[in-house]
Amino acid sequence: MVSILGLRMPRELFRILVAWAVVSAIGIPAVWFLLGPHLPPGTMSNSAADQQFDNTVLAVCVVPVAAFLAIYFPYCLVRFRHRGTTFEDGPPLKGDGRVMVAWIAGTSALVLFLAGWGSWELFPGEHGAGGGQGPDPLQIATPANAAGALQVQVIGQQWQWTYRYPQYGFETDQLVLPQGQLVEFHVTSLDVIHSFWAIQLGVKADAVPGSDNVAFTQPGRVGSFQVRCAELCGIWHGHMFTEGRVVTQSDFQSWVGQQKRTLAPASGSLPPYAPSYYPTPLTRGG
Amino acid sequence: MSRAMRLALVAVATAAAGVLVGFYIVAFLMATPPTVNSAQTSPGQARITLQTVAAIGFGAHPDWVSYLVQDPQGRWVHSTILRVPAHSLVHVTIYQYDTASGLRNPFYSQVRGTVGGIMYLNGKATRAIKPDDPGHTFAIPDLGLSVPLQGVPDDAKNQCEAAPCSTSQAHNTIEFTFRTGAPGSYRWQCFVPCAAGFVFGNGGPMQTMGYMDGFLEVQ
């Protein structure tokens, strides 16, 4: 037995705890500082950065648990392996109340922390994950500067995303966003359920016929990002992806002008802007 | 019957059922329409000729709406897999024999991605048609190509009942040219919910290769 701070424990457990403490002390800062900045979805937008922070916290929580398992089992396999040629029962196992209390308390604290942390981070707002809170969210979904947000309606249909810019009066198959401006996505569908996933922006919102699913994001860096459908939606589901762009404000205005000119023949035929559409009639064809 | 015989019978029946299921799955996965070459008109240029019909009239789904493609020998082939040269101009002629279903999204009423941003509808240069008028579209999203195909009026005389249709029957002729890029497989589809009898008009032929979905094999 070993006595540490008045706490007596078996020598084996002491060794395991020491190794665990060392690996955790190295692993936690390594994950936080080295792995964390490279975790998806990156930091292209504020919502993406929020999610990367969440993923980093979760990864840090995993380190001590994984370290304990990675040390405990190999140690036991080696230290307590069977020796000799005769097979006989080992000594009977006895429960240890302190170990059970420590195990239950530790795992409960971790699970409760993760549940609380996850719930808090799911709430929209400054600390929220930024994706698909619905048209009338329960919590404070609207950022402070929402009045000046760029409205982009994301319309899913089998099998292409189109994007309506109601403030500029056109719809296009290109998703281009201005750097630094808050964007308010309104995600809907014209046929079946799709899921709009702008990966590097950290936005994922279901596209449901008749529903308006709202998500905010603020792109912080010029570049490209992937858009995919994250809901199995038919034969070309796997092809339902495009590449969006974040551009400077001046490039965005140039792009808007070009789109308005190019898409003028169709823009006049667009229905009045509505937060959502419903496929009517239910059956077509013939 | 002895216990051993019964066991043997069950084993044989199970194996036979497994083989049948396997054959069905393999046949389903292998049932790919033939690839049809475009007609080369000159170096760097090719021609595709298609027709759309309200009912294919034969095969497993004779009442399904479908595209057909003309092979270089002039025969109509029930396929939607088209092979065209890379970095070329492709001249497309589509004989549209089906009536209008209308678009669910009017965005697709505009011609996009063609040379000049136009199509020729019965010889007349056109940039867009009314959203209720298309019977189908010919669209290759990855190339930014989308062309609405004006439907034949419901009251048109001499409508085609089953494929292949002939130009002596009621139809609209749509012609356009687009440019291919790098080699690859580009899926194409119709954006009009034209599958009669299916919820939202998007089942059946809209979800089946060889009818309203296909590949443009750029080589």
Report the distance separating Cα A141 and Cα A160, nearest Å: 28
Q: Are residues A155 and A271 in the same domain?
A: yes
Report the distance separating Cα B185 and Cα A60, nearest Å: 43
Q: Are residues A23 and A59 in the same domain?
A: yes
Q: Are residues A61 and A159 in the same domain?
A: no
Q: Is any Cβ of chain A less than 8 angstroms from the Cβ of B119?
A: no
**pLDDT tens figures, B9-58:** 999 999 999 999 998 888 777 778 899 999 888 888 999 999 999 999 98
B110 vs A266: CB contact, 8 Å cut-off? Answer: yes
Residue with tokens 């139809």: B171
Q: Is any Cβ of chain B less than 8 angstroms from the Cβ of A190?
A: yes
**Cβ(A188)–Cβ(A175) below 8 Å:** no
pTM above 0.80, yes or no: yes
Nearest chain B residue to A285 by CA: give it: B194
Please report whether residue A95 resides in a domain: no
B199 vs A190: CB contact, 8 Å cut-off? Answer: no
Domain range annotation of chain B: 1-31, 36-218
CB-nearest to A284 from B127, B139, B201 is B201
Q: Are residues A234 and A272 in the same domain?
A: yes
- The count of CB pairs under 8 A between chains A and B is 97
CB-nearest to A266 from B54, B106, B196 is B106
Q: Which chain A residues are Cβ-neighbours of B193 within 8 angstroms? A: 191, 279, 284-285
- The CATH number of B36-218, from 2.60.40.420, 3.30.465.10, 3.40.190.10, 3.90.550.10, is 2.60.40.420
Report the distance separating Cα A57 and Cα A116, nearest Å: 13
Please report whether residue A210 resides in a domain: yes
Q: Is any Cβ of chain A less than 8 angstroms from the Cβ of B184?
A: no
Please report whether residue A134 resides in a domain: no
pLDDT (average), residues B207-213: 92
Report the distance separating Cα A134 and Cα B50, nearest Å: 44
Above 60 in pLDDT, residue A57? yes
What mean pLDDT value characterizes chain A? 87
Helix, strand or coil, per DSSP, at residue A42: coil
Q: Are residues A116 and A172 in the same domain?
A: no
**pLDDT tens figures, B58-96:** 888 999 999 999 999 999 999 999 999 999 999 999 999
Give the torsion sign (CA, A232, A236, A238, A242). Answer: negative
Q: Are residues A202 and A277 in the same domain?
A: yes
Q: Which chain A residues are Cβ-neighbours of B106 within 8 angstroms? A: 266, 269-271
Which tokens is A11 given?
A: 């020598």
Please report whether residue A239 resides in a domain: yes
Which tokens is A31 given?
A: 């994950």
Q: Are residues A191 and A106 in the same domain?
A: no
Most distant CA atoms of chain A, gap in Å: 89
Q: Which of A279, A275, A274 shows the shortest CA–CA distance to A191?
A: A279
CB-nearest to B109 from A158, A266, A279 is A266
Please report whether residue A137 resides in a domain: no
Q: Are residues A246 and A162 in the same domain?
A: yes
In this predicted structure, what is the pLDDT of residue A283? 45
Which tokens is A154 given?
A: 């994301």
Which tokens is A22 given?
A: 């060392």
pLDDT (average), residues A179-184: 92
Q: Which of A167, A233, A169 shows the shortest CA–CA distance to A197?
A: A233
In this predicted structure, what is the pLDDT of residue A131? 54
**pLDDT tens figures, B92-101:** 999 999 999 8
Domain extent for A68:
2-80+101-122
Q: Is any Cβ of chain A less than 8 angstroms from the Cβ of B118?
A: no
Report the distance separating Cα B46 and Cα B44, nearest Å: 7
Q: Is any Cβ of chain A less than 8 angstroms from the Cβ of B57?
A: no
Residue type, B178: F
Beta bridge partners of B66: B53
Express the helix, strand and coil content of chain B in percent, nearest 5 each. 20, 35, 45
Q: Are residues A220 and A160 in the same domain?
A: yes
Q: Are residues A152 and A279 in the same domain?
A: yes
Give the torsion sign (CA, A82, A88, A89, A90). Answer: negative
Report the distance separating Cα B89 and Cα B92, nearest Å: 10
In this predicted structure, what is the pLDDT of residue A232? 95
CATH number at residue A261: 2.60.40.420
Residue A210 pLDDT class (50, 70, 90 cuts): confident
Above 80 in pLDDT, residue A41? yes
Q: Are residues A205 and A251 in the same domain?
A: yes
CA distances from A257 to A162, A182, A249, A251, B61 (A): 18, 20, 12, 10, 47
C-alpha angle A149/A150/A154, rounded to 5°?
A: 125
A285 vs B213: CB contact, 8 Å cut-off? Answer: no
Domain count, chain A: 2
**pLDDT tens figures, B151-194:** 999 999 999 988 899 999 999 999 999 999 999 999 999 999 99
Q: Is any Cβ of chain A less than 8 angstroms from the Cβ of B137?
A: no
Above 60 in pLDDT, residue A221? yes
Exposed/middle/buried for B171, CB within 10 Å: 0-12, 13-18, 19+?
Answer: buried
pLDDT (average), residues A188-207: 92
Please report whether residue A93 resides in a domain: no
In this predicted structure, what is the pLDDT of residue A124? 57
Above 70 in pLDDT, residue A140? no
B194 vs A192: CB contact, 8 Å cut-off? Answer: no
What angle separates helix A97-122 from helix A46-79, to the nearest 10 degrees?
Answer: 160
